[in-house]
Amino acid sequence: MRTSEFDYFLPPEFIAQTPIEPRDASRLLVLHRSDGHIQHRHFRDITSYLRKGDLLVANDSRVIPARLFGHKIPTGGKVELLLIKKRDDGNWDVLLKPGRRVKPGTVLAIHSITGTNAEASTIHPAPEMTARVLASTEGGGRVISFSQPIEPLLDRIGMIPLPPYIHAPLENPERYQTVYARVRGSVAAPTAGLHFTPELVQQLQQQGVEFAFVTLHISMDTFRPVHETNVEEHRMYSEYCEMPRETCEAINCARREGRRVIAIGTTTVRVLETAALRLQAGETALKPFTGYTDLFIYPGFQFRVVDAMVTNFHLPRSTLLMLVAAFAGKDLIDRAYQEAIRERYRFYSFGDAMLIL
C-alpha cells in the first residue's frame, strides 16, 4: 500500500488556529459505515446518536509543559527543547531546535519562563538546571540527561507545546487539555476529546451512556507524516499506556450484553486494540495491562473491540488518517474528507470532529 494514497490537499485557511467556544459548538460530521450516509451536525448533537448502554472510552492523559528554553554552555547559543518520552533509566528523548549543531557531549542551561506562549513570554536569565546531550536518536532527536528530576519543575520552566501548524498564541493552556485529563505525560493532546464539556458529559450520563478511561501518553510520533514509500514499512514510536481493571470490566460487560464500545480518539483505539491483541487463543475477555504499544493500524487491520469512534480530521500521510481509513474504509474516508473541505470544516487539533458509526 502506497503512502501517497493517503495524501490530500487542504487549503491552509482550513487549519484551525484557535479553539472554538464553547467546546461542543464545533461541527460534527456523522459518517454511517453501513450505507455511506453523511450528516452535518454540531458536536453537542452527539446525544442524538448515542443510546442508553453505550460505553464511551476516552484517553485521560494530560499534556505536560514539555517545551523548554535554554542555551548552550559556554557559547550561549539559544536552544529549544521538546520533551518526547522519559526512558526507563530516567533520561529523556527530546527534539532540539536548532538540532544539527547540538552534538553529544554538549551541556545546556535550562531557564524558567513567565507567560503562556513563546511570543509573549519572558525567559529568565538565571538557569534553573543543566542538561547534557548523551546521544543522537534514529529519528533525529537527542537523548538528554538532566541535572535533577525535571518533572517537579515543569510547571515553572516549561510551556504547553502546540503542533507546528498552529501559529496563533494560546491564551488559556487548559483549552489544549480535555476536561477529564488527569494523568500527566503527553506532549500533545488527545484532540478528539477536546469537544466535550462537563455539561455534555453529565447530559450523556443522565441519558444512560457510560464512561470509562484508558491512558496513552502521546508522543509527537503519533502526528508526524509517514515518510516511507510503502505504508507497511513504517514503524511506530512506542508510547506508554495503561488499561485499568475497571475499564476492562466495563468493556467486557458491554460486549457480553451486546452494547456498543465507542472510542474517543485514535489513541484510545490503539490501547483497546492492543489489549485485544494480547489475548491468548480462546480468550475473549480483555485483561488490564501497563506497558508500551507500538501498534500501527492501517487498512487491512481487523478491529476486535471498537464499534464506533469519535475523531478529528487528520493530517495527510499520517498514521491517524490511516487508522480511520482502516476503520471506515479508505474510499468512504476520502469522500468524507472531500465533503468536509467543501463544507469548510475546521481541520486538525483545534478543528471539528467526526463520528464514525
Q: Are strands 92-97 and 142-146 parallel, antiparallel or unpaired?
A: antiparallel
User: Does pTM surpass 0.75?
Assistant: yes
Over the stretch 288-308, which tens digit does the pLDDT of each residue have?
A: 999 999 999 999 999 999 999
The closest alpha carbon to 24, from 267, 218, 202, belongs to 202
Residue 29 burial (C-beta neighbours within 10 Å; 0-12, 13-18, 19+): buried
Average pLDDT score over residue span 324-339: 98
In the predicted model, is pLDDT for residue 1 greater than 80? yes
Digit-coded pLDDT (tens) for 3-49: 999 999 999 999 999 999 999 999 999 999 999 999 999 999 999 99
Residue 116 has pLDDT above 60, yes or no: no
- Residues 185 and 323: their CA atoms lie apart, in Å, by 23
Half-sphere exposure (Cβ direction) of 36: Cα atoms closer than 13 Å: 9
Q: Do domains 3-63+172-356 and 67-157 have the same CATH topology?
A: no
Sorted by sequence, the CB contacts under 8 Å of residue 89 that are 6+ apart come out as none
The pLDDT tens digits for 195-216 are: 999 999 999 999 999 999 999 9
Give me the CATH topology for the region 67-157.
Thrombin, subunit H (2.40.10)
Q: Is the pLDDT of residue 171 over 60?
A: yes
Average pLDDT for residues 162-171, to the nearest whole number? 91
pLDDT above 70 (res 119): no
The yes-or-no verdict on residue 318 having pLDDT over 90 is yes
What average pLDDT does the chain have? 93
pLDDT on residue 107 = 94
Q: Which fold has domain 3-63+172-356?
A: QueA-like (3.40.1780)
Q: 118 falls in which pLDDT band (50, 70, 90)?
A: low
Instruction: Tell me the percentage of the chain whose pLDDT exceeds 90.
Output: 82
Residue extents of the structural domains in the chain:
3-63+172-356, 67-157
The rounded percent of the chain whose pLDDT value lies above 70 is: 96
* pLDDT on residue 88: 86
Question: What pLDDT is attached to residue 98?
Answer: 86
Q: Of 105-114, 149-158, 245-254, where does the model show the most confidence? A: 245-254
